[in-house]
Amino acid sequence: MRSLRAGTSSGYELIMVDNGSTDGTADFASAEADIAVLNQSNLGFAPGMNAGLKVASGEVTVFVNNDTEFPKGWDLHLVEDFSTHPRAGVVLPAVTAAGNPVSVRSTPGDTVERLLPFGEFPSGVVYLVRTNLMRQLGGWNEAFEGASAEDLDLVFTMWAHGLDVILDTRVLIEHVSQASMRERPDLSALYRRNLELFLDRWESGPEGPILDTVTSEEYGRNLERARTAVVWIRRMIAARQESAMLSNEPDGARKKGRFRSRS
């Protein structure tokens, strides 16, 4: 919050959502935020973000993970990108760490890139979205528990509606990564459940209204592209699992296994 206060140049309101903290964070939010949303329990990432979206009044809402630090003037390029890229659904900066490496950089760059639809998956560390558009889409998908895969679901939704995901490498955000999640004992299982939920959802095709940013025919074609991406993601997961199993087998068993698979 302090880096946002010091580094933001545009007019803004700072909304802080506290998900049932017991360490004094709620008191800090009440004192320091422009708007504090204090949940009595941990509702999870997506419901927490949606609680902030509900009270936001700005034209653009910036969704920010709590383990981040912002440089001075971080907002100027990112807000401008909505004007220079009128079909932008999501604008995001580069970050120093993330689960998906698409937006990871060690130093700021000089490019503004349109990410490959259904092919380049950026982690949702810092996402800028037009507030009204996000509300039309229903906000973050609350079917995803914790914090994983809901960011992929959002960019797939943008692509399905013919909108672009823009990566601006001129802005670099410091990110610790998993600061709030790493202590969960079920983290690996959570990631698997959310990934499977994501794949099932886009394999069958999500339900919901089609925005006027795309025709029904274009939307259908985009859903086919999403299904193709799901097929390749499943194949990649299967290949990695097979590779991991083979690497853990003794040499003799590995050779026999390979022989049997060929027969």
Which of 171-180, 188-197, 224-233 has the least mean pLDDT? 171-180
pLDDT at 181: 57
Domain assignment of residue 37, yes or no = no
User: Which CATH number belongs to the domain containing residue 189 in this structure?
Assistant: 3.90.550.10
Query: How many domains does the structure of the chain reveal?
Result: 1
157, 160, 161, 162: CA torsion to nearest 10: 130
Q: Which domain holds residue 72?
A: 57-204
The conformation of residue 102, written as its DSSP 8-state character, comes to G
pLDDT single digits (tens) 42-98: 999 999 999 999 999 999 999 999 999 999 999 999 999 999 999 999 999 999 999
How many Å apart are CA 8 and CA 214, to the nearest integer?
Answer: 33
Instruction: With cut-offs at 50, 70 and 90, classify the pLDDT of residue 26.
Output: very high
pLDDT-above-70 percentage for the chain: 91
How many Å apart are CA 192 and CA 180, to the nearest integer?
Answer: 18
Query: 142 with 149: CB under 8 angstroms?
Result: no
Contacts of 66 (CB under 8 A, 6+ apart): 179, 180
pTM flag (> 0.75):
yes
Nearest of 118, 61, 67 to residue 92 by alpha carbon: 61
Q: Is the pLDDT at 257 greater than 70, yes or no? A: no
Instruction: With cut-offs at 50, 70 and 90, classify the pLDDT of residue 259.
Output: very low
Domain assignment of residue 132, yes or no = yes
Q: Quote the Cα angle for 59-61-66, to 5°.
A: 160
Helices (H), the chain: 2-7, 25-32, 45-55, 74-84, 131-136, 150-160, 187-204, 216-247, 251-262
Q: Is the pLDDT at 227 greater than 80, yes or no? A: yes
Domain assignment of residue 38, yes or no = no
What single letter denotes the amino acid at residue 78? L
For residue 120, count other CB atoms closer than 10 A to its CB: 16
Instruction: With cut-offs at 50, 70 and 90, classify the pLDDT of residue 252.
Output: low
Domain assignment of residue 82, yes or no = yes
Residue in this structure with the two tokens 């939307």, named with its chain if needed: 219
Query: 145 with 194: CB under 8 angstroms?
Result: yes
* Residue count (the chain): 263
Beta strands in the chain, from DSSP E residues, in sequence order = 15-19, 35-39, 60-64, 68-69, 88-95, 112-114, 126-130, 164-175
How many Å apart are CA 78 and CA 177, to the nearest integer?
Answer: 21
Averaged confidence pLDDT in the chain: 91
Domain assignment of residue 194, yes or no = yes
Distances (CA, A) of 47 to 12, 85, 138: 22, 29, 11
Cα dihedral across residues 125, 16, 176, 201: positive or negative? negative
Nearest of 116, 132, 139 to residue 225 by alpha carbon: 116
35 burial type by CB count under 10 A (0-12 exposed, 13-18 middle, 19+ buried): middle
